[in-house]
Amino acid sequence: MIDLRGITQIYQGPQGPVEALRGIDLHVTPGEVFGIIGRSGAGKSSLVRVINLLNRPTKGQVVVDGRDLTRLKDAELRAARREIGMVFQHFNLLSSRTVWDNVALPLELAGMDKAEIHARVQPLLELVGLSHLADRYPAQISGGQKQRVGIARALASRPKVLLSDEATSALDPETTRSILDLLRQVNRELGVTVVLITHQMQVIKQIADRVAVIEAGRIVEMGPVIEVFTRPREDITKSLIDEIVPQELPAGVLARVRSLAARLAPQASGQLLRLSYAGEQAYEPILSHLIRELGLDLSILHGQIDEIQEQTFGSLAVYASGPMARIGAAIDYLRAQGVVVRTVEVN
Amino acid sequence: MFENFSEMMLELFATSLWETVIMVGVSGIVGGLVGIPLGVFLRLTDKGGILQNAPLNTVVGGIVNAVRSTPFIILLVAIIPFTRLVTGTSIGTWAAVVPLTLAAAPFIARLVETALREVDSGLVEAAQSMGATTWQIVWKVLLPEALPGIVAGLTISFVSLTGYSAMAGAVGGGGLGDLGIRYGYQRFLPDVMLAVVLILIVFVQAIQSLGDWAVRRMSHR
């Protein structure tokens, strides 16, 4: 649906040229929710604006639905933009227009007649649950409601792609969840491909199918969300998912490991293991196998089990004690089962 | 007090008030018709505008500033040949309307430009993402969103024009200000002067209240 090829963007800053995007290649498949995450200044806002050419890249191709937007004439580009809806962090609703008229705006711009506009706006307001507020002005409704208007407006021209520029960053956690649910619903029921950028891993976790991590204008890591959560490779990714899956163990856990190590039987050795797993392995009795078949003692010290895209995903810190060789065998067994194992040394 | 208000004097007041209304009304409206598009042009061609064009903006901005820096009493006489070209005469109320309009247009242009600057650039971006043309952005986004600010600016302009119109006497334009100078000051009729000032206060107050009311009705922020 969307193909970005070799996107480079150079701005003329006050201290000379600034490379905001450095050779980005990205492919978004039809019908998916693709998340782009990064810290502020990483280039994610520039990147999402490249997709509808609000931001014209210095180099590279932007292919949306089979057409290279960078080659289109002005009028063709305007027509192409109607196929790409966009929602914004600060909603960008017209204060001079009612909710109804805001949703009607893109249709007016497309030159649609009144009857047709009427027929389209009503169901959109119903979809986002705002029919009862149609005559209000944006100043009279809440932030979450404003974003619902923003989404209805973005969908008015029946786009194939919806771009979301930090759509939930100005909202509280509860409203964020309901807006994300709405985006997911739009994606599933209308088949709209969604590209969203955010700095919150929670957003990615809740609705994205795949995620790209952007840092300093480059995509440093990309893959299905569950994979990136269980096997983060880059430091930036680890630090971004830290808010959901703590990457460092709390001091209390480490203290407990030390006291367990001090009480080990002579001959026995102990090892702190961090396990992360997803999907099918979550249902296998892996830990009981270690206890029963390998005769290890296991203390579960820290962890969580959660769900991402309807797949169970877990992260555990386990202290295994027993004969040294058995511990080695346990690690091999876990890895064979597809569990990501990290051994952690505690001094 | 007010012993000088013969029937003739009252007629003179009525005529003068009408002349003021004509001068302020016509120059305000025509000045707006020129000034609003000029203000839009200045905003669009300014840095960060959707038709950014530094040379054009500097030239037009420079002309606007030049007219605005010319004292009105000088502008009034300096453009007499142009006034004669437009109205066929260089004296009378209509001859005063031309320089008043010329002074109003750049004044309004700057106020409109400022009002347009208050429109969040995110709204323009949103309209662009919907495939809006420049023309549509101006008509559907910029002007409606800036309308309360533009009306407030027009109100200020009408009030300023009322002040400027007092100088119209220099070209025989008449009006309340001229009446005050000729009868109140030069003929030593302080009650006429007082009446002129009172009428002008009510006149300006009416313009301001009307403008404020319109802004309140239009603003939904």
Predicted confidence (pLDDT) at residue A282 exceeds the cutoff of 70: no
CA distance A281 to A260: 28
Instruction: Using a CB–CB cutoff of 8 Å, tell me whether A101 touches chain B.
Output: no
Residues of A in contact with B147 (CB under 8 A): 96
Give the phi and the psi of residue B40 in degrees, each rounded to 5. Answer: -60, -45
Domain B18-218 part of CATH 3.40.50.620? no
Per residue in B41-53, pLDDT (tens digit) is 999 999 989 999 9
Distance from CA of A92 to the nearest CA of B (A): 5
Distance, in angstroms, between A186 CA and closest chain B CA? 18
- Domains of chain A listed by start with CATH number: 2-241 (3.40.50.300), 251-344 (3.30.70.260)
Quick check: B48 contacting A, CB < 8 Å?
Answer: no
- From the list B128, B218, B42, B45, the residue with the least C-alpha distance to A92 is B128
How do residues B77-102 score in pLDDT, each as one tens digit? 999 999 999 999 888 999 999 999 99
Mutate to test the interface with A, among B124, B129, B138, B142 (most CBs of A within 10 A): B129
**Neighboring chain A residues of B132 at a CB cutoff of 8 Å:** 78, 109
B118 near A CB under 8 A: no
Is the CB of B140 less than 8 angstroms away from the CB of A105? Answer: yes
B199 touches chain A (CB under 8 A): no
At residue A322, the pLDDT reads 87
Average pLDDT, integer, range A329-347: 87
Question: ∠ at Cα A245 (A244, A251), nearest 5°?
Answer: 115
Put simply, the answer to whether B220 touches A139 (Cβ < 8 Å) is yes
**Collapsed DSSP state (helix, strand, coil) of residue B30:** helix
Which of A19-23, A277-281, B59-63, B151-155 bottoms out in mean pLDDT, i.e. has the lowest?
A277-281
Chains A–B, number of C-beta pairs less than 8 Å apart: 63
Which among A79, A92, A95 has CB closest to B220?
A95
Say whether A90 and B120 touch across the interface (CB within 8 A): yes
The DSSP line for A182-203 is: HHHHHHHHH--EEEEEES-HHH
Is the predicted pLDDT of residue A257 greater than 90, yes or no? Answer: no
Give, as one character, the DSSP assignment of residue A97: S
Residues with Cβ within 8 Å of A6's Cβ and at least 6 positions away in sequence, in order, are A23, A24, A25, A59, A60, A61
B131 part of contact set with chain A, CB < 8 Å: yes
Among A140-154, B57-71, B171-185, which stretch is predicted with the lowest mean pLDDT?
B171-185
Rg of chain A in Å (alpha carbons): 25
Structure tokens at B87: 């109205």
| Three-point CA angle A322, A326, A328, nearest 5° | 115
pLDDT in tens, B9-40: 889 999 999 999 999 999 999 999 999 999 99
**Which residues between 113 and 172 in chain A have a beta carbon less than 8 angstroms from any beta carbon of chain B?**
137-139, 157, 163
Q: What integer pLDDT is reported at residue B2 of this predicted model?
A: 63
Interface check A108 vs B, CB under 8 A: yes
Question: Which segment of A130-134, A299-303, A307-311 scores lowest on mean pLDDT?
Answer: A307-311
Average confidence (pLDDT) over A20-24: 93
Write out chain A residues lying below 8 Å of B141, CB-based.
94
Q: What is the pLDDT of chain B when averaged over all its residues?
A: 93
Residue B122: which of A52, A88, A108 has the nearest Cβ? Answer: A88
For residue range A39-62, list pLDDT tens digits in order: 988 889 999 999 999 999 999 999
Are A92 and B123 an interchain contact pair (Cβ–Cβ within 8 Å)? yes
- pLDDT at position B103, please? 95
- pLDDT tens, position by position, A80-108: 999 999 999 999 999 999 999 999 999 99
